[in-house]
Chain A
Amino acid sequence: MSLLFVQLLSGLANAMFLFLIASGLSLIFGVTRIVNFAHGSFYMLAAYLTYSLAAALPGGPVAFYAAVLLAAVLVAALGGLVEVLLLRRVYKAPELYQLLLTFALVLVTADAVRYLWGADNKTGPNAPGLAGSVMIMGQLFPSYDLAVIAFGPLVALGLWLLFHRTRWGVLIRAATQDREMVAALGVDQSRLFTSVFVLGSFLAGLGGALQVPRLALTTVMDTSIIVEAFVVVVIGGMGSVWGALLSSLLIGVLNAYGVLLLPRIAIVLIFVVMAVVLVVRPWGLLGRPEIQLRPPGSGGVVGARARRLGPIWLGAGVIALAGLPLVLPNFWISIAVEIFAFALFAASLHLLMSVGGMVSFGHAAYFGLGAYGAAVLLQLAGLPMPAAFVLAPVVAAVAAAVFGYFCVRLSSIYFAMLTLAFAQIVYAVVHQWDDVTGGDNGMLSVWPARWLGTPSRYYYWALAATLLGLLLLRLVTASPFGLTLRAVRDHARRAEAVGVNIRALQWTAFVVAGFVAGLGGAIYAFLKGSVFPVYTESPMSVQPLVMVLLGGVGSPAGPLIGATVYKLLDTVITRYTDYWQIVLGAILLVLVLAFPRGVAGMLDGRRP
C-alpha cells in the first residue's frame, strides 16, 4: 500500500515537470500553429543558465531560487526575440516552414550549449532548504519533489486566472479557436504571437530550471524531452492547457506504475497511450476539432501551376546520372546512392504532405521497415539479395496499410502524431525483439549480391530502383487518383459531397508512400551493409520532413532538391568540424529566411 502511494507521489512529481513544459508548447501551438521543436532547447538552456547563475549569484540560499527565476526570464526573453526576429519573417510562408526554422534553432542551440558549457555531464546544486527527505508511510521521499507537486497546481491556477480574468487571456483563448476571426476583429496578431511565445518559453524555462536539483545536465536534454512533450500535448489536445495538465498526470502516473508492472515497456508506454487515445478521441482528451495544421486553401501547390520538366531535360538528367560513376570516386558514388535513398524517402513523404495534405511525423517507420525487411528476408528467410530487395518495400507497404488504416481517420497534427506513435512502436519492436532483429546491435552483413558488389554496379541498381520509385509516384500524382487526392486536401467536404471515399483514397496514398519509403530503406540497407533500430526513430522521421521543406513543398522536384542539398551539406560540414550542428543550423536558417518557399519554390518564382 505504502509502495503504491509513494509511487503515486513520484509519478505526480514527474507529471508536474511534464505539465510545465507541455503547457507552454501547447499554448504556442494553439495560438500560432507553430510546431516548435525549439521548445526543448529552451528547456535545456534554462537548466544550464540556472547551473551557472546559481554558482555566480550572491545571496547564499536565495541565490538558487533567484537563478531559477532569472534563467526562466532570460529564456522567455530569448523566446520573444526568436519570434520577432526570425519566426515573424516566415509566417507568410506555407504552413510548416516555421517547423524547419525551429529545427535549425535546435541544431544551433545544441552546439552553442556544448561550446559554452562543455560536453561533460553536470550535476547542479540541490535546492537550499529542500535538499533532504521526509518520511512518508515508512518510505523516504525527497522534499523537493513534494514542493514540486505543490508548485504545479499553483502554475495551473495562475494560468487559469490569466486566461479567464484578463483581456489578454481572453484573446489567447479566442485565437486558439479561430485566429482569423480574432484578426478580423482588429486584434494586433503580431503582439499576441510574441507574448504567447514569451509565456510559452518562460514555462519551458521554468521546467528546465527546476530540473537542475533532480537531473544531470546533458547536451542532449533537449531532444530527450521534446518528443515526450509533444506526446503529452497531443494526448491532452493541442492548445488546451487543461488537457496538458490532465495528460501530464496520466503519463506521469502511468509511467510510475509501469516500472512496477512492465519494466521493459517504458520505452514505448507513452506512445501506446497516445495511439489508444487518438484512436478513441481523434483530437486528444480535451482538444477541439477546429485546429488544423493546414487550413483549406492555404495549401500546397503541386497543381497545374507547377511546371513539368520537358522530356528532353528529364532525359538529359537521367543520362547525366548514368554517367556519374564514370567521373566520381567511389566514396562520392556511395554518397549519390545515399541521396537516392533519401530522395525516395522524401518524395514519398511529399506525396503525403503536398498532394495528400497529410503531414507525417513517423515516416521513418516505413523507411526502417524497408531496411529491416531487406535484412530479415536476406538473412532469416535466406532469399537471394535481389528478391529480398524487391520484397522489402512490400513489408513496409503492409505495415503502412495496417497503421494507415487508423491514421487516416485523423487529420492535421493528430494524424502526424499518430504516425509518430506507430513509428515509435515499430522502433520499440525492432529494438526489443533481439532474436529476429538483433536488438540495438542491429543486423550486420546486409551486403549486395556479389555481382553487384562494386560501388558503381550497386549505383546503377539503386538508380534504376530510384527512377522506378519516382515514376510510380509521378504516375500516382498525375492520375485521376492523384487529382482527387488533391481535391480532398483542398476541400475535404466538397470532395466527399461529390462522392469521393476520402478515407479509402488517403489510405491508398499512405500505402503507396509507405511502399516507396520502404524502397528507399532497402537501398539504404544494402548501401550501408547493416540495419539498426535508429532507422525507425524520430530523428530519422524529421530528416525527410526537413528535406521536403528545404526543397520546397510546392514542387515535385522539391524533395529531390531538398535531399540532395541536405545530404551534401551534411557530408561536407561534418568533414571539417565537430560543431556541424551549429553550421548546418545556421545554413538552414539562412535558407529558410532567404527562400521561404523552399529552394524549388524560389526557382519556380524566378521564372516569368
Chain B
Amino acid sequence: MRASRLLSLPAAALLLTLGAGIATAQAPIKLGDINTYSGIGAPFTGPYRQGVEMAVEEINARGGVLGRKIEVLFRDDKAQPAEAVKHAQELVESDKVAMITGSFLSNVGLAVSDWAKQNKSMFLASESLTEALTWSKGHDYAVRLRPNTYEQGRMLADKAGKMKYVKWATIGPNYEYGKRAWETFRDRLKELKPDVQMVGEHWPTLGKIEPGPLVTAILNENPDALYVSLFGSDWLAFVREAQKRGLFQKMFVVGILLGEPEYIDPLKLEAPEGMLVTGYPWYDVKTAGHQEWVARYIKRGDKTPVLGSIIGYITYLSVAEAIKKAGSTETPKLVAAFKGLKVETPMGPIMFRAADGQSTMGAWVGTTKLDPQRGVGVMVNHEYVPGEKVLPTEDEAKKLRPAN
C-alpha cells in the first residue's frame, strides 16, 4: 500500500507535467507590441511590424519556443505615452502577455518602461533612442535594442574629429532627442578636437519646420560643417530648401540616422551627396546570413527593407532567445535571462549587457552618394561600428543608473 503510493507519486507528477506540457503546447505564448502605428510614426512602424511578423513566422515554423508557438498582439499608442500605458496594462493584465516590446518615441518608451518597473513586467524597447531609458531612468525590467542617441552621436564625432572642420552649427527638432543628439556629438568632438567652435543652434518645432528662413540663417553663420538631427518630414523639407539655396555646396554635413533608408529613400535623387551619416546600408551588408535575410524579406513583402524592418525582426529573435534561455515566461526569469543575453542576428552577434540592459547592436557609419540605378541615395565607404566601441563600460554604465 505504502510502497504503491510512493511509486505512484512520481508517476502522477510525471503525468501532470506531461498533461501540462500538452495543454501549453496548444496555447501560444502571447507577447504585446506597443508602437506608434498611426500618425507620425506610421512610416517607420509599418516596416517594423513586417519584420516582427516575419520573425514570428520563422520562429513558429521551427516549432516555436519551449514547444509553444508565439503570438504577437499589436497595439497603436497614437504617439501618446498615456495611451501606451493603457495598452501595457491591458496586454499584461487582460491578455496575459509574457512581456511587452516596441515603442518608437522616446517619451512613450520611458512611460512604458516606468509602468513596467511599477508593475514588475518585462519590457524590451526596440526603437526609442533616449539614453535615459537604460541609464538615468534605467531599471531591471527594461532593456533596449537599438544603439542610443549617445552611441550614435559618438560614432559620428569619432569620425568628424579627424576632419579639418572647425566651425560647427546644428539644426535639430526641439525636443530631447534633438538636443541630446547634439550635446553628445559636440562634447565628444570638443574632446577630440579642442579648437572647434560652435557658431549656431537651430531648433524648429518637430513636424512643423519652415525650412527657408532656417537655411538662410545657417548660411549666414558660415559654418564649415553642420550637424543635423532632423528626421522624417522635417528633414525632407529641409533638404529641398537647402538644395535650392546651395547649402550642401557650402558646408560639410553630418546627419545622425540620415543614412537609414527610412530617411534617405523618400528623397529619391534629391538626397544630398557626401554627408557623413549613421544608417543601415542593407544593400551592402555582407555579414553571415544578412543577404539571405534581405532576400527572404523582399520575397515576403515585395518591398526592400528599411532599418525598422530588421529592428522588428531582431526584436523578436531576442524575445525568443530570452524565453528560451529563461526556460519560462515568468517575469523574474525573463529579467535574469536578459542579463548578458546573446543573440545571433543578421547584423551579427549582439548582447544585452547585464549592467544596463543596453544591447551592443551597433550602426553603420558612412558617406552618402546617389545610386542612379535604384534612384535613391545610398551609403558608401561605410563601416559597422559595434556598440561596445562607443558605449561606456558596464561599470561606468552602472554608475549612470539609479540605485535600485
> Which residue of A is nearest B73, CB measured?
A575
Contact A264 B174 (CB under 8 A): yes
Cα A571 to Cα B132 with chains together (Å): 29
A221 to chain B, nearest CB (A): 8
Contact B42 A224 (CB under 8 A): no
B386 within 8 A of partner (CB): no
What 0/1 pattern do residues 160 to 180 of B give for CB contact below 8 A with A?
000000000000001110000
B219 within 8 A of partner (CB): yes
Instruction: Point out the residues of chain A lying under 8 angstroms from B212, CB to CB.
Output: 10, 13-14, 142, 145, 256
Instruction: Point out the residues of chain A lying under 8 angstroms from B220, CB to CB.
Output: 3
Report the contact-size class of chain A (Cβ under 8 Å from the partner).
35 or more
B153 within 8 A of partner (CB): no
A435 within 8 A of partner (CB): no
Contact A331 B93 (CB under 8 A): yes
Instruction: Point out the residues of chain A lying under 8 angstroms from B267, CB to CB.
Output: 123
> Which residue of B is nearest A257, CB measured?
B213
What 0/1 pattern do residues 208 to 248 of B give for CB contact below 8 A with A?
10101110110110000000000011001100110011100
Contact A330 B93 (CB under 8 A): yes
B37 within 8 A of partner (CB): yes
Task: Using A447-B118, A534-B81 as known contacts, say yes or no to A263 and B111 having CB atoms under 8 A apart.
Answer: no
Interface residues of A in 181-227 (CB under 8 A from B): 213-220, 224
Interface residues of A in 430-462 (CB under 8 A from B): 431-432, 434, 439-442, 444-445, 447
Instruction: Point out the residues of chain B lying under 8 angstroms from A121, CB to CB.
Output: 43, 232-233, 236, 266
Contact B76 A574 (CB under 8 A): yes
Instruction: Point out the residues of chain A lying under 8 angstroms from B233, CB to CB.
Output: 121, 215-218, 220
B140 to chain A, nearest CB (A): 15
A42 within 8 A of partner (CB): no
Cα A218 to Cα B43 with chains together (Å): 9
Cα A532 to Cα B106 with chains together (Å): 12
Selected contact of A528 from candidates B81, B132, B208, B214, CB within 8 Å: B81
Interface residues of A in 96-147 (CB under 8 A from B): 110-111, 114, 118-123, 132-133, 139-142, 144-145
Contact B93 A10 (CB under 8 A): no
Cα A220 to Cα B246 with chains together (Å): 28
B207 within 8 A of partner (CB): yes
A415 to chain B, nearest CB (A): 25
Contact B240 A441 (CB under 8 A): no
> Which residue of B is nearest A141, CB measured?
B245
Contact B240 A444 (CB under 8 A): no
Contact B86 A571 (CB under 8 A): yes
A267 within 8 A of partner (CB): yes
B107 within 8 A of partner (CB): yes
B24 within 8 A of partner (CB): no
Contact B246 A528 (CB under 8 A): no
Instruction: Point out the residues of chain B lying under 8 angstroms from A219, CB to CB.
Output: 39, 42
Contact A256 B213 (CB under 8 A): yes
Task: Using A445-B118, A578-B37 as known contacts, say yes or no to A255 and B210 having CB atoms under 8 A apart.
Answer: yes
A41 within 8 A of partner (CB): no
Contact B86 A338 (CB under 8 A): yes
Cα A434 to Cα B179 with chains together (Å): 11
Interface residues of B in 20-56 (CB under 8 A from A): 37-40, 42-43, 46
Contact B244 A132 (CB under 8 A): yes
Number of interface residues of B (CB under 8 A): 65
Contact B40 A331 (CB under 8 A): no
Instruction: Point out the residues of chain A lying under 8 angstroms from B78, CB to CB.
Output: 574, 580
Task: Using A142-B241, A224-B208 as known contacts, say yes or no to A529 and B75 having CB atoms under 8 A apart.
Answer: no
Instruction: Point out the residues of chain B lying under 8 angstroms from A120, CB to CB.
Output: 42-43, 46, 266
Task: Using A263-B202, A444-B110 as known contacts, say yes or no to A7 and B86 having CB atoms under 8 A apart.
Answer: no
Cα A334 to Cα B212 with chains together (Å): 47
Interface residues of A in 246-263 (CB under 8 A from B): 255-257, 259-260, 263
Task: Using A331-B94, A442-B110, A447-B118 as known contacts, say yes or no to A218 and B232 having CB atoms under 8 A apart.
Answer: yes
A11 within 8 A of partner (CB): yes
A296 within 8 A of partner (CB): no
Instruction: Point out the residues of chain A lying under 8 angstroms from B236, CB to CB.
Output: 121, 123, 215-216
A16 to chain B, nearest CB (A): 12
Interface residues of B in 124-138 (CB under 8 A from A): 130, 132, 137
Cα A331 to Cα B74 with chains together (Å): 17
Instruction: Point out the residues of chain B lying under 8 angstroms from A10, CB to CB.
Output: 212-213, 216
Task: Using A122-B266, A532-B81 as known contacts, say yes or no to A578 and B245 having CB atoms under 8 A apart.
Answer: no
Instruction: Point out the residues of chain A lying under 8 angstroms from B42, CB to CB.
Output: 114, 119-120, 219
Cα A296 to Cα B133 with chains together (Å): 54
Contact B213 A575 (CB under 8 A): no
B114 within 8 A of partner (CB): yes
B126 to chain A, nearest CB (A): 17
A141 to chain B, nearest CB (A): 7
Instruction: Point out the residues of chain B lying under 8 angstroms from A431, CB to CB.
Output: 174-175
Selected contact of A123 from candidates B202, B216, B266, CB within 8 Å: B266
9 contacts between A and B (CB under 8 A): A3-B217, A142-B245, A213-B240, A259-B204, A264-B203, A440-B106, A528-B86, A529-B114, A578-B37
| 8 smallest beta-carbon distances between A and B, as pairs | A119-B42, A216-B236, A10-B212, A256-B213, A142-B244, A216-B233, A444-B114, A440-B175
Which B residues have a C-beta under 8 Å from some C-beta of A?
37-40, 42-43, 46, 74-76, 78-83, 85-87, 89-90, 93-94, 106-107, 110-111, 114-115, 117-118, 130, 132, 137, 174-176, 201-205, 207-208, 210, 212-214, 216-217, 219-220, 232-233, 236-237, 240-241, 244-246, 266-268, 270
Q: Using A142-B212, A331-B89, A574-B83 as known contacts, list a sample of 18 further A-B pairs with CB atoms less than 8 Å apart, ordered by residue number in A.
A: A14-B213, A114-B38, A121-B266, A141-B244, A213-B240, A215-B237, A216-B266, A220-B40, A255-B210, A257-B213, A259-B214, A334-B86, A334-B89, A440-B106, A528-B86, A529-B115, A532-B81, A580-B38
